[in-house]
Amino acid sequence: MVKKVLVLLLVLFCVGPSTALVGMGAFMGPLGFCLSDSLTVGPIPDRLTATTADGTPVTLEKRQLTHAATIITTGASIPGVGQAGVRIALMAALTESRLRMLANTGAYPESGNYPNDGDAADHDSLGLFQMRPVAGWGTVAELMNPTYQAKAFYGGEQGPNFPSPRGLLDIPGWQQMDPGSAAQAVEVSAFPDRYRNWQPVADTILTALTKPAPTGGGNGGGVVPETSRVVFPLPEGSYTSTDSFGWRTDPFTGERQFHSGSDLAAADGTPIYAVADGRVTVAEFSSGWGGLIIVEHTVKGGRVASYYAHMWQDGIYVTSGETVAAGQNIGDVGSSGRSTGPHLHIEIRPGGQGQPPVNAVEWLAQHGAVPADGTGTGAPGCRANAGGGAR
């Protein structure tokens, strides 16, 4: 609290983009966890030691880490998955098989004819995610292929199992769920609480196997996959539009200046969502923007950058180089930098980072932005503030 008050007292001495005059809100929400790496896989080590959430040490061999790399690279190629989705997939595979490609010769003798890392006997489950042929996940031949299993776990309209059984992308609002609960929603296990115990191990794998994506130059570090959808950056009904895109009187200087974004007043700590799948190019704190995140996207074949400003320093949940999914909670509303109250300053820049901005709210409406939970149609208007394996 003391830190936030000091920041508010210092804003008169700061320089940066203009923001709106908005009311004070509630305190900051819970902290998030973020990684500094992208989904670009680097050299695979011979072994890796990590510790589960309950303190159990785990050593993974190169074969297991190779399967982890397959899960990572497969997720990186599917729009909408992002680093959050890959983390969930790793948690699920660690829980179900310890990242081993398991045959099941008791139920399917032919499964032993395919490359495998051992035999198991859990009902008729197979492979990394312990998927069952009788549940519709695929044939024995398909499920003994690590890449196929990863694609099936991620699901979505392009998934091999669409529309049923459901993969991660088929779970409404999975981005806002606890990662362990999201894994359980896919696996439908008899032991739903096991998955979250493996999150620290999944994070260790991501850190060890991936390398930072190149950033800078306003191009987002290379090709960004086409987004799967466009969402509104704040929860429906949580905000009030207080200052729009265009010319206005600056609240600090009293001079007529151009306002490059749209200001949406919301309670301190309100979650901010990525408007589309993309790659983070900036995640930093400065005197003017305050907490700033810039994400590069590909929307309808064109490069687009989205800017999110005025988060508290500990309210930024992503880092430069990280890939994110549409609707992922990338930060929380704050009031840092040149701000007079908690709100989100959102900018949309077709062409990418550093290009001229357009009216963000209008752009979102034109591109059919939906609430982050995937329900409803169109961009929301301005509201008042207010056991086993995959079955």
End-to-end alpha-carbon separation of the chain, Å?
47
Alpha-carbon gap, residue 280 to 322, rounded angstroms: 5
Tokens of residue 389, six digits: 């394996």
Q: Is-contact 34 275, C-beta < 8 A?
A: no
Q: 18-73 pLDDT, tens per residue?
A: 333 333 222 222 223 334 335 778 889 999 999 999 999 999 999 999 999 999 98
pLDDT at position 211 = 66
CA atoms within 13 A on the CB side of 243: 28
pLDDT at position 345 = 95
Q: Which amino acid is at 265?
A: A
Q: Is the pLDDT of residue 17 over 60?
A: no
Burial of 90 (0-12, 13-18, 19+ CB in 10 A): buried
Q: Is the pLDDT of residue 103 over 80?
A: yes
pLDDT at position 219 = 44
pLDDT at position 212 = 55
Q: Is-contact 239 382, C-beta < 8 A?
A: yes
Q: 178-192 pLDDT, tens per residue?
A: 899 999 999 988 776
* Exposure class string for 270-304: b at 16+ Cβ within 10 A, else e: bbbbbbbbbbbbbbebeebbbbbbbbbbbbeeebb
- Cα-based distances in Å from 83 to 160, 174, 221: 21, 13, 16
Q: Is the pLDDT of residue 11 over 90?
A: no
Q: Is the pLDDT of residue 383 over 60?
A: no
Q: Is-contact 72 209, C-beta < 8 A?
A: yes
Alpha-carbon gap, residue 274 to 324, rounded angstroms: 7
Q: For 231-372, which CATH superfamily applies?
A: Glucose Permease (Domain IIA) (2.70.70.10)
pTM exceeding 0.75:
no
DSSP 226-265: BPS-BB-SS-TTSEEEEE-SEEEE-TTT-SEEEE-SEEEE
pLDDT at position 283 = 92
Spell out the domain ranges in the chain: 47-209, 231-372
Q: Is-contact 209 202, C-beta < 8 A?
A: no
**What DSSP designation does 119 have?**
B
* Exposure class string for 33-65: b at 16+ Cβ within 10 A, else e: ebeebbbbbeeeeeebebeeeeeeebebeeebb
pLDDT at position 379 = 37
pLDDT at position 385 = 32
Q: 135-169 pLDDT, tens per residue?
A: 999 999 999 999 999 999 999 988 999 999 999 99
Sequence-distant (≥ 6) Cβ neighbours of residue 5 within 8 angstroms: none
pLDDT at position 38 = 55
Alpha-carbon gap, residue 280 to 312, rounded angstroms: 17
Q: 232-290 pLDDT, tens per residue?
A: 999 999 999 887 787 778 777 787 777 889 999 999 999 999 999 999 999 998 778 89
Alpha-carbon gap, residue 218 to 282, rounded angstroms: 10
Beta-strand relationship, 302-311 and 290-299 = antiparallel
What backbone torsions phi and psi does residue 205 show, to the nearest 5 degrees? -60, -45
Q: 295-343 pLDDT, tens per residue?
A: 999 998 889 999 999 999 999 999 998 999 999 999 999 999 989 899 9
Q: Is the pLDDT of residue 376 over 70?
A: no
User: Nearest to residue 178, comparing CAs of 59, 296, 57, 84?
Assistant: 84
